[in-house]
Structure formats: structure tokens, C-alpha cells
Amino acid sequence: MRSAIEVLRPVRDADISRWLLNDEITGVEVRVPRRSRRNKDLRDPVLVLLHMASGALVDVEISVNIAYGYDIRGEVSCEMGVAALPNRPATLISDLNGIRQAIPADWRERFIEAYDQEFREWIVAASEGTATGPSTWDGYAATLVADAALRAVTSASFEQINMTTKPGLYGPPTAMAAE
């Protein structure tokens, strides 16, 4: 049985992938490795492959039980180049012991400033009537991905996602655009 964090993490990555690629997920594969030497109930890292409608593949590697800190990375590898999230904190130490960088203990050092900025921008947008956010459709898509990922853990194979046709009400807000 997977923990709630291990199930929820692919959902967050699926949301990000759908948003970043402006594409829907059509299938999921999950690979779970041998049991951890630290705790026989743990199996990290979990590898998730999201198949996008456009044919793009998203590789998500999840390790929720690492012992050295909060290490998060992101990279988009495309035909014309690669974009990668910078490591945080950005300070590198070079000395007789080599080159190293501190790894935060948890999410706060990496994201607290970004979350604060996101809240400030949303408050401004809400006051101007232009605030947006996830829709019910996004929740529906996330639920289908989570269900398929759970099936894929058990089946150890590709699990297809069959979404209904997206209702027109989720198109661009034409009434607001006309104002």
C-alpha cells in the first residue's frame, strides 16, 4: 500500500505537466523499485511516466523518504534545448573538500518566497476581476491520473486514461474578454 504522499505527488506533477505543456495525459506507467534498506516498508524512488496526448513523455521521479534534505529538481528537455530549475540556495562552496551546495531540510527555504509572491499576485488579480485558478475539469483530470497511477502500481504496465469530451464551459471566458 502506497502512502498518501506517494499518491498525491504524481497528481501535483500531472497538474504541472498539463499546465506547462497545455496538453492532456492519456496514460500512466509506474515503476516501483526494490524495498529500501532503511525501512522495508519503503520503496523509493518511484518512477512515473506520463503519456501526453501530443506524444510528449513526462518522466517523474519521486523519492519521499530521502534522508539528506528537500531536494527538488525540474527539467524540460526539448528538441531545441533544455530548461532547468535552478538549485536553491544558489550559493556554491568551493574549497579543499570540493564543490558543494547546501540542501534545504524542507520545502520552506525553496518555496516560501514563491508562494508569498503567488498570493500577492492573486490578490491583485482578484481585486481586478482577472483571477484564475484550477477548475473542476482540472480536478477531474487529476482524479483520473491518480486512479490510473494506482492501477499502474498494481499492474506494472501502461494504464490508459479515457477522459470525456471537455465541456465548452471550460473554454476561454469570452464574456469577460469582451468587457
Within-domain flag for 25: yes
Q: What pLDDT, on a 0 to 100 scale, did the predictor assign at position 68?
A: 79
Rounded average pLDDT per 10-residue block, the chain, 179 residues: 52 89 94 80 86 95 80 85 79 85 82 89 92 88 93 93 90 48
Within-domain flag for 114: no
Q: What pLDDT, on a 0 to 100 scale, did the predictor assign at position 178?
A: 42
Which CATH number do you get for residue 148?
3.30.360.10
Within-domain flag for 90: yes
Q: What pLDDT, on a 0 to 100 scale, did the predictor assign at position 144?
A: 95
Within-domain flag for 119: no
pLDDT in tens, 21-64: 999 999 999 998 887 777 777 777 889 999 999 999 999 988 87
Within-domain flag for 85: yes
Residue 17's alpha-carbon distances to 45, 50, 109, 178, in angstroms, are 19, 9, 23, 30
> To 10 degrees, the CA torsion angle through 107, 112, 114, 120?
150
Structural domain containing residue 96: 4-105+135-173
Q: What pLDDT, on a 0 to 100 scale, did the predictor assign at position 177?
A: 41
Within-domain flag for 73: yes
Q: What pLDDT, on a 0 to 100 scale, did the predictor assign at position 149?
A: 92
pTM of the model: 0.78
What's the total number of domains in the chain?
Answer: 1
Within-domain flag for 115: no
Q: Angle of helix 136-155 relative to helix 4-21, nearest 10 degrees?
A: 120
Within-domain flag for 98: yes
For residues 52 and 25, the answer to whether their CB atoms sit within 8 Å is yes
* CA 139/CA 29 separation, integer angstroms: 20
Question: Three-state SS across the chain?
Answer: CCCHHHHHHHHHHHHHHHHHHCCCEEEEEEECCCCCCCCCCCCCCEEEEEEECCCCEEEEEECCCCCCCCCCCCEEEECCEEEECCCCCCCCEEECCEEECCCCCCHHHHHHHHHHHHHHHHHHHHHHCCCCCCCHHHHHHHHHHHHHHHHHHHHCCCEECCCCCCCHHHCCCHHHHHC
